[in-house]
Amino acid sequence: MSPKYKYFLIALVLSLGLDQGTKIWARQSLKPRAPEVITVINGYFDLEYAENTGSAFSLLRGRPEARYLLFAFGIVALGVVAYYLRKATPGQRRIAAELGLLAGGAIGNLIDRAAYGYVTDFILWKMGAHRWPNFNVADAALLIGIAGLLIDMKPAEKPTKGKAKA
């Protein structure tokens, strides 16, 4: 097996396993306590159970067609990931791992949408009075994968034309 596929599979399995394991824990441990918030780091990091029927930042929340639209978008995203994985050279292990994080995150949220009609969110970052929207491990994997790809795929700088200094 090519190294790129090994790195892809490792990232996919780790992100998907961690995502699903933590979501099971959240549904069993946090959901019965909701709306109670568990403070991890006072003023910065809490655990708060939430069911997100929308997309990132709760866009499309409460829209009946959102479940199907977002499920379809996830399937298309997996097709795009497969396309770029095939295009990657065997030595592009980091890009393959980033694509694995994208696939793991997408599959993790697809599982939730198919099984429950919503995505289980439970991680809450805040700073003072500002709260970021609740998220989960799949969302974090997606964000890390996208950020990594943006860094790795930036165009190389062109050499400047001119005379070399002696």
Catalytic annotation, residues = 121, 139
Q: Between vectors from CA 123 to CA 122 and to CA 129, what angle results, nearest 5°? A: 115
Which neighbouring-strand residues pair with 30? none
ω into residue 155 within 30 of 0, thus cis? no
Tracing tokens 């790795």 back to the chain, one arrives at 152
For residues 138-159, b (16+ Cβ closer than 10 Å) or e, as one string? bbbbbebbeebbeeeeeeeeee
Dist. CA 22–CA 65, nearest whole Å: 27
DSSP 30-61: IGGGTT--EEEETTTEEEEEEEE-SSGGGTTT
